[in-house]
Amino acid sequence: MRPSGRAPDQMRPVTIEPHFTRHAEGSVLIGFGDTRVLVTASIEERLPPWLRGKGEGWVTAEYGMLPRATHTRGSREAAKGKQSGRTQEIQRLIGRSLRAVTDLKLLGERQITLDCDVIQADGGTRTASISGAWVALRLAVNGLLKEGKLTVDPIRQKVAAVSCGIYKGDPVLDLDYDEDSNADADANFVLLENGHIAEAQATAEGATYDEESLLRLLRLARMGCTEIFRAQDKALSA
Amino acid sequence: MRPSGRAPDQMRPVTIEPHFTRHAEGSVLIGFGDTRVLVTASIEERLPPWLRGKGEGWVTAEYGMLPRATHTRGSREAAKGKQSGRTQEIQRLIGRSLRAVTDLKLLGERQITLDCDVIQADGGTRTASISGAWVALRLAVNGLLKEGKLTVDPIRQKVAAVSCGIYKGDPVLDLDYDEDSNADADANFVLLENGHIAEAQATAEGATYDEESLLRLLRLARMGCTEIFRAQDKALSA
Amino acid sequence: MRPSGRAPDQMRPVTIEPHFTRHAEGSVLIGFGDTRVLVTASIEERLPPWLRGKGEGWVTAEYGMLPRATHTRGSREAAKGKQSGRTQEIQRLIGRSLRAVTDLKLLGERQITLDCDVIQADGGTRTASISGAWVALRLAVNGLLKEGKLTVDPIRQKVAAVSCGIYKGDPVLDLDYDEDSNADADANFVLLENGHIAEAQATAEGATYDEESLLRLLRLARMGCTEIFRAQDKALSA
Amino acid sequence: MRPSGRAPDQMRPVTIEPHFTRHAEGSVLIGFGDTRVLVTASIEERLPPWLRGKGEGWVTAEYGMLPRATHTRGSREAAKGKQSGRTQEIQRLIGRSLRAVTDLKLLGERQITLDCDVIQADGGTRTASISGAWVALRLAVNGLLKEGKLTVDPIRQKVAAVSCGIYKGDPVLDLDYDEDSNADADANFVLLENGHIAEAQATAEGATYDEESLLRLLRLARMGCTEIFRAQDKALSA
Amino acid sequence: MRPSGRAPDQMRPVTIEPHFTRHAEGSVLIGFGDTRVLVTASIEERLPPWLRGKGEGWVTAEYGMLPRATHTRGSREAAKGKQSGRTQEIQRLIGRSLRAVTDLKLLGERQITLDCDVIQADGGTRTASISGAWVALRLAVNGLLKEGKLTVDPIRQKVAAVSCGIYKGDPVLDLDYDEDSNADADANFVLLENGHIAEAQATAEGATYDEESLLRLLRLARMGCTEIFRAQDKALSA
Amino acid sequence: MRPSGRAPDQMRPVTIEPHFTRHAEGSVLIGFGDTRVLVTASIEERLPPWLRGKGEGWVTAEYGMLPRATHTRGSREAAKGKQSGRTQEIQRLIGRSLRAVTDLKLLGERQITLDCDVIQADGGTRTASISGAWVALRLAVNGLLKEGKLTVDPIRQKVAAVSCGIYKGDPVLDLDYDEDSNADADANFVLLENGHIAEAQATAEGATYDEESLLRLLRLARMGCTEIFRAQDKALSA
């Protein structure tokens, strides 16, 4: 039995509130249950120097956790003067996932930065970030198309992400904090709507796992992403 | 005429949503018009080493601005590896303002940290932070009283803060971003409900000012704080 | 009674020794009693990149405290690898105060940096810094006028600063270290010779204060600045 | 055709030279073709403070790349003052992989640090690091057993790691630099000798991939790890 | 001919003003011509953790250069967030030089820190620092002896330091800035009054040098130190 | 008697393995007994901005110590976020020593960086680094001459370096770790084949020394460098 009473293949409610803030070219507040992440997409018409002159754009991400997003207060990375290895790993993953569905040549020489800031954490903050970031990116690119700055849509696919893991011996979908901190293995899958995989990561925590388990986790992730794609659609048509 | 069409002594709507997040001992989302700050109060039952053994507690604050809270994206302080002078100045002011109304001996050997994170910025983020932080602190201390960890209330007074300034020659209350970036002088007042002053800061930007102007700004601030005290009451009785 | 035996409205002796070092375009050693600050003004004919092309110059300040300027040795900020929040707050205040009396357009595309290094500290280091920095700036600009690099004087006014505070219930002028560490409230005023205010900051330390007290502190500051203006004149005519 | 002329399922020669340095409790120089990593295992009989008192030990890793290990010189992380996100991601992966096969309770309250320093880089430095680190760890633990500091072996399994990827549409084993920089997808698998998986990571670079491809990459990794296990055995029996 | 018109073996005037600041246990302003360094000695009765429990004390030094001590303004190390290699090299040399004449066991478990801050630079700042630091140390230790905290003098010898170099082919004593920046070789010698050497450093800048030159430089240094010892005596008997 | 049983004027075996890595323009693994340093020379055809436009090149060095090069593991400088004073002092010395024999005008507007990374430490790492760096530089410059990028050889002389010291009262050559940590004085000499000196540094550790000792140390260094020059020749003719 899962601590939350959910079925093994049951997602937490996925909520996506678009246009949560005013200034960003795209913004959403995404929730996977009690996990809530504010994502903004910022368009800059200039690339940083090391990316200029290749005739293509760039999509990147930054990730942060408010100090009291968690059960006990963590220290503020700005005050400590550096981002943790975990933070850097997550923001690299988010950026990669969005670039996997973006045609950078079509985007043109501009940069879009996805800022993913965790307001409240209850497991799955990186996958919620990716899933929300795609909507924020979509909103920002819609603006560019509407303003005529782009004529061809550079976003090739929808992308969503979800965690799953082996908890007390059973594969389960969308780990919350209680499960995450006690899982034998946990995995994150970044999937496209056409079934393709952008990123698969499965890590043994308490126990190593076999190939069959890897496949069952992937199947759960497919079910989760179907729900997330639906929530993304709903948010965009709102 | 003010860009927003407000009267010189007119505040923007003050909104305070208590219990905005789940984990913190106190939390609010405070809005001064489009300025929105998430404030959480975190209680730690242990003091940092340098504060121990004096038979009293500590109240402190940290301040941050999400990168895209502003009209154009700013860089993330955690990524740059240090907090700006402005950030440090603001968080010192917030902490001082709350300590001015807290009896640290009555608080006992525990620390309460107020994290003020600006979700959206449109002027007045430091004064909104102080005004919201007082409510978050109140909620956290209410919890300590309810749990019996405290028997006497260490909060002696209500505190609120508001900015005002001289815009196109006229003293006006509660500057928004447009006014703030063009003001001749801007001021921040931190006031108690009994009329006392915890902090007064008035800075010439475009033009120096005279004693009469300082007094008029203080009078505007008193009017603004009356409204903020009302919003604080309403949030706490919700 | 004040620890030093001074009357409530009595400044410590103000001493200003011009041309204390050789290389700087302007330099003074200023003393407010035992507080001694070395201030140098350095002219650079090039602006930093982010200030170029606006047809105006910049005046800025940096502040430091020698490790053993104080009663017990403090750690060296260069060794710790960062400037404290206090240091940054002070150097921002010094720069702002001098820009309040300088016409940056008339200054032209050059930068003047005021380095304020505290040799010995006994309260009031920031106000001594501002008062001395004005003289160093004046000396540096005199040089530009003499060399013909400037033909119109960009300095519009004299500026001086002094601290005052409420000590054992009474407003007193020019706090020394003993008073400063036990004051109920302390204030810093940056005043122009024509009576205008460039900056007013009054902070409750042990007790909040009322409007009447704020005004009495301001009146003390006016008396103090009158003496400082006299000392500045004397140093410049030396 | 692969640039090196290798067959799709062909590893580069795996060489492991044990006892490469004198001071470390375990050390190897491991080569995957031209990629060469020096790995040392250092035993400390004291845990860092935050790990003490749990009745168990810790295995951790650090990773570095000599500035001219690569085709063109990269900057030295010690000189830049921080480790890159990539470095941190890799050292977290190495540590996790070794902890997956170590019984930390049996290890006792001591820490073993695996330092993986890349002398020469030609793709696959993180998987060579893991594969070599296991041998260095084995040598260090053998010492503890021999000295009687341990009586039961805390290492439960062999572990090895290898990269593979989709290059010009075809799954291939053990990417070298030329392949790595042009792969459509690249993957790293950390496998146990019993077939279990400690870590699976597969990332779309130029193109997303399907489930079938993921499984083919895993099968290639199994073939590669078989060879690495053999080389590990040989090094240990030398 | 030397730019200053001095003879090859002629020192600049050496001036040592003791008790230049009030708070430090020992302090001097030392001048070698236009080079002026403020040195303070601070006694702490507690050692830092890593030095405790060995039954002996420690003497250490820190060095800094005010930004406008030099002909053109340098950046402030505290603002840059790190000390240069040059600064660290110099402060290591100063500490070593004083420890060479101090019996750390006799000093007891306390630390004396010599802060050497260059007010004005014209060549020879490190040797002026060492020469002044000895006087500040002497003053601080005199205080410990007077207060009865020490009964046996831990300072075994006088120490002084001077630079010399090969300028336009000729060995000269006590290089000023003009000579220093054009010397073929420059050297620093730290000498005891009994003729022994604590440190000898001779570096080729424009041209390598032979053994004979090294010996001539050492002889010049002996002459210079004789004058410095005299100035030290005079300062202490003042 | 020396711990190693060596005669006072006996070097440890000097081994130089050229072309130890593939990518660098020059590379060697140099050994002074158990001390082993990997040195690579990297040519960059562009100078850093602050060196451009003077019609000459630059030779510089960086130095690092692998964490477990030493008897007990030291912390990794990249992880600590800064290079120690010792590291910076050494890399400045290495760069200076090589520039002493290089005609920077003849080198042309390019930079050669010598990376000296200590694989195993047993005393004398800085002198081994210099001696090895010269060979790596020689190899790199040979390549430039061969490719026709240079027509005149910018290397004017051979350079080598060795440590010596006073151990239990006797001058000895080439200190190993046991001697180094117990020496009364230690010295490093950087010598040219023609007998000239590029750098002489002799430091009192346990006891100050006299002029006669300095000369005896220099004579030992000459003997040691003769052997090193021979090993350099052998490596280059291999």
Using the CB atoms, write b or e for A214-237: b if 16+ within 10 Å.
bebbbebbeebbebbbebbeebbe
CB pairs under 8 A, 24+ apart, for A46-51? Answer: A46/A109, A46/A110, A46/A111, A47/A109, A47/A110, A47/A111, A48/A111, A51/A111
If you average pLDDT over residues D78-89, what whole number do you get? Answer: 94
Amino acid present at F45: E
Give the count of beta carbons closer than 10 Å to the beta carbon of residue D103. Answer: 14
Q: What region does F49 belong to: left with phi over 0, alpha with psi -120 to 50, or beta?
A: alpha
**Structural domain contains residue C43:** yes
Q: Is the dihedral of CA F78, F83, F84, F87 positive or negative?
A: positive
Examine the predicted complex and report whether its ipTM is higher than 0.90: yes
Q: How large is the angle between the packed helices D125-146 and D85-99, nearest 10 degrees?
A: 40
| Dihedral (Cα; F114, F93, E213, E177), 10-degree rounding | 110
**Structural domain contains residue F9:** no
Nearest to A104 by CA among A47, A41, A27: A47
Amino acid present at B153: D
Residue with the two structure tokens 């040098």: E209
**Structural domain contains residue E6:** no
Band of residue B122 on the pLDDT scale cut at 50, 70, 90: very high
Reported as half-sphere exposure (CB side, CA atoms, 13 A), residue B86 has a value of 5
pLDDT for position D135 = 98
pLDDT for position E238 = 82
φ, ψ dihedrals at A45, nearest 5°: -80, -5
SS3 C73: coil
pLDDT for position D71 = 95
Cβ contact F110:F57 at 8 Å: yes
**Structural domain contains residue B3:** no
SS3 F63: strand
pLDDT for position A1 = 85
pLDDT for position E206 = 84
Known binding-site residues of F for phosphate equal 86, 124-126
pLDDT for position F100 = 96
Does the beta-carbon distance from E40 to C68 stay under 8 Å?
Answer: yes
Radius of gyration of chain C from Cα atoms?
18
Burial status of residue B10 (CB atoms within 10 A of its CB: 0-12, 13-18, 19 or more) = middle
Reported as half-sphere exposure (CB side, CA atoms, 13 A), residue E201 has a value of 17
Range of the domain at F93: 14-237
pLDDT digits (tens, 9 = 90+) for B205-224: 989 999 999 999 999 999 99
Cβ-Cβ pairs closer than 8 A, A with D, add up to: 88
What is the pTM for the complete model shown? 0.94
- Shortest distance between the Cα of C216 and any Cα of chain E, in A, equals 33
Q: Note whether B236 contacts C: Cβ–Cβ < 8 A.
A: no
- Is A165 within any annotated ligand binding site? no
**Structural domain contains residue E130:** yes
End-to-end CA distance of chain D: 36
Name chain D contacts of F78, Cβ cutoff 8 Å. 64, 76-78, 82-83, 87
Report the C-alpha gap between C229 and B216 in whole angstroms.
28
- Shortest distance between the Cα of D227 and any Cα of chain F, in A, equals 25
Amino acid present at C27: S
Report the C-alpha gap between D63 and C195 in whole angstroms.
63
E41 DSSP 8-state letter = E
Spans in chain A with pLDDT lower than 50: none
Which member of D198, D204, D215 has the closest CB to residue A199? D204
Nearest to C88 by CA among D33, B92, E101: B92
pLDDT for position C238 = 82
Cβ contact D105:D99 at 8 Å: no
Helices (H), ranges, C114-210: 125-146, 177-180
Query: What's CA D94's distance to the chain center, in Å?
Result: 6
Which residue is closest to E194 within chain F, CA to CA? F210
pLDDT for position D132 = 98
pLDDT digits (tens, 9 = 90+) for B184-206: 999 999 999 999 999 999 999 98
Report the C-alpha gap between F17 and F31 in whole angstroms.
9
pLDDT for position A61 = 98
Number of domains within chain E: 1
pLDDT beyond 90 at B21: yes
Contacts of E54 (CB under 8 A, 6+ apart): none
Query: What's CA A127's distance to the chain center, in Å?
Result: 4
Cβ contact C172:C8 at 8 Å: yes
SS3 F117: strand
- Is A55 within any annotated ligand binding site? no
Residue with the two structure tokens 């501009």: A110
SS3 E43: strand
- Is A124 within any annotated ligand binding site? yes
If you average pLDDT over residues D189-195, what whole number do you get? Answer: 96
pLDDT for position F33 = 98
- Shortest distance between the Cα of B71 and any Cα of chain A, in A, equals 5
Q: Note whether B119 contacts C: Cβ–Cβ < 8 A.
A: no
Which member of C82, C197, C203 has the closest CB to residue B209? C197
Give the count of beta carbons closer than 10 Å to the beta carbon of residue C48. Answer: 10
pLDDT for position D171 = 97
Known binding-site residues of C for phosphate equal 86, 124-126
pLDDT for position D25 = 98
**Structural domain contains residue A2:** no
Length of chain E in residues, anyone? 238
**Structural domain contains residue F7:** no
φ, ψ dihedrals at C106, nearest 5°: -65, -30
Report the C-alpha gap between F168 and B167 in whole angstroms.
80
Residue with the two structure tokens 């620093």: E188
Q: Could you list the pLDDT tens digit for every one of the 238 residues in chain E? A: 899 999 999 999 999 999 999 999 999 999 999 999 999 999 999 999 888 989 999 999 999 999 999 999 999 999 999 999 999 999 999 999 999 999 999 999 999 999 999 999 999 999 999 999 999 999 999 999 999 999 999 999 999 999 999 999 999 999 999 999 999 999 999 999 999 999 999 999 989 999 999 999 999 999 999 999 999 999 999 8
SS3 content of chain E, % helix, strand, coil (to 5): 35, 30, 35
SS3 C216: helix
pLDDT for position D1 = 85
Q: Note whether C42 contacts E: Cβ–Cβ < 8 A.
A: yes
Q: Note whether D181 contacts A: Cβ–Cβ < 8 A.
A: no
Length of chain F in residues, anyone? 238
Report the C-alpha gap between E161 and E100 in whole angstroms.
13
pLDDT for position A238 = 82
Report the C-alpha gap between F81 and B132 in whole angstroms.
37
Task: Profile chain F (238 residues) by mean pLDDT over runs of 10 residues.
Answer: 95 98 97 98 94 94 98 95 95 97 97 98 98 98 98 97 96 97 96 97 94 97 98 96
Does the beta-carbon distance from C200 to B196 stay under 8 Å?
Answer: no
Report the C-alpha gap between D133 and D39 in whole angstroms.
6
**Structural domain contains residue D9:** no
- Is B2 within any annotated ligand binding site? no
Nearest to D118 by CA among D85, D80, D159, D77: D77
Biggest CA pair distance of chain F = 55
- Quick one: tokens of D143? 């010492």
Q: Name the residue with higher pLDDT: D190 or A49.
A: D190
Cβ contact F163:F225 at 8 Å: no
pLDDT digits (tens, 9 = 90+) for C102-150: 999 999 999 999 999 999 999 999 999 999 999 999 999 999 999 999 9
φ, ψ dihedrals at C220, nearest 5°: -60, -45
Spans in chain C with pLDDT lower than 70: none
Q: Is the dihedral of CA C119, C121, C122, C127 positive or negative?
A: positive
Biggest CA pair distance of chain B = 56
Which DSSP string do the residues of D147-175 spell out, in sequence order? TTS-SS--B-S-EEEEEEEEETTEEEES-
* CATH classification of the domain holding A74: 3.30.230.70
